[in-house]
Amino acid sequence: MAVVRIGTRASALALWQTHHIAGRLTAHAPDLQVAIVEIVSTGDQITDVPLTEVEGTGFFTATLEQALLDGRVDVAVHSYKDLPVAATAGLVVAAVPVRGPVEDALCAREGLTLATLPSGATVGTCSTRRAAQVRALRPDLDLRPLRGNVPTRVGRVSSGELDAIVLARAGLERLDLQAHITEAFAVDVMLPAPAQGALAVECREGDTALRRLLASLDHADTRRAVTAERQLLHALGGGCSVPVGATATCDGRRLTLSAGVFALDTPRAVRLSGSGTDPDALGHALARGLLDLGAGEILAAFDKTPRLESPAAWGVRA
């Protein structure tokens, strides 16, 4: 393993994430040589398609995964929430490092918060999940689609094109743009995307020596939490393009998972919390509980069919 080639998108955030992982690896194995390979993804090439139509489909990750399968790179670093919930054959997430902040954040002109934005203010977001929750809190705001990398999105507020934007706090902090945050939303106000703030370090399934090396970066509690969140999303038949929020925390072996499904054009929403020790079982159980509360009717509007096969024998509390 003379040189490990790490594939990355060329965006500022993707490069930060990749260099962060490269630094962690060389700190663990000082003799390791790392080469960063920039790869242009389909999502970087096609900028006029709304993210609501493509997120969770591999739009930003498939090109990197193909480079892994072709042997052009040895490792790929992803924002975990961008990976489709169905694993790609031949590849494995070898490490889920310590998670960053999970919250969503508002960046608004003149230090405004969501409550103090004037009626009719323009708010940009690329996420149906964020749009649904913002609309439920402030139906009088004018929501606009948002594309581009994180600095570009922030610049649309600085230039006066938009009054505010909503995006992940983790990305802002990783790029040292936290000064633009005017409000960080508590998770009970705005549920984040499943796996938000987490990274996925992926390699080929058969690269056993490399898998052992990458495992040094794995954080057990983060992996268990995002497994529960993504299992819930998978059970609901969703991807990042549907308004499903979920966040899990660990207390020893016990996990607490909170999740919600939000209608985009009405204030309708269903939310539920549950706890347990098995991430997969907990994600399935909470998904079933949400469906029992009517989440399936909301998901049907997005042409999504739940993947649940049988009832989960798991206690869920509302």
- Confirm whether 3-97+198-218 and 226-317 share one CATH topology: no
Superfamily of domain 104-184 in the CATH hierarchy? Periplasmic binding protein-like II (3.40.190.10)
Q: Give the CATH H-level superfamily of domain 226-317.
A: Porphobilinogen deaminase, C-terminal domain (3.30.160.40)
Architecture of domain 3-97+198-218: 3-Layer(aba) Sandwich (3.40)
Tokens 């948002």 belong to residue: 146
Burial of 31 (0-12, 13-18, 19+ CB in 10 A): exposed
Q: Where are the domains of the chain?
A: 3-97+198-218, 104-184, 226-317
Task: Tell me the residue ranges of DSSP E strands in 152-276.
Answer: 164-168, 183-184, 199-204, 244-251, 254-262, 269-276
Distance CA 153, CA 193 (A): 19
82 is catalytic: yes
Residue 183 has pLDDT above 50, yes or no: yes
Pairing verdict, β 183-184 and 199-204: unpaired
For residue range 31-55, list pLDDT tens digits in order.
Answer: 999 999 999 865 444 444 444 444 4
Q: How far apart are CA 20 and CA 112, in angstroms?
A: 32
247-291 pLDDT per residue, tens: 999 999 999 999 999 998 888 999 999 999 999 999 999 999 999
Q: How high is the pLDDT of residue 45?
A: 43
Q: Which of 74, 82, 104, 163 is catalytic?
A: 82
**Is 43:59 a contact under the CB 8 Å cutoff?**
yes
Q: Is the dihedral of CA 297, 298, 302, 305 positive or negative?
A: negative
- pLDDT tens digits, residue range 207-247? 999 999 999 999 999 999 999 999 999 999 876 577 999 99
For the chain, the farthest-separated pair of C-alpha atoms sits apart, in whole angstroms, at: 59
Query: Does pTM top 0.75 for this prediction?
Result: yes
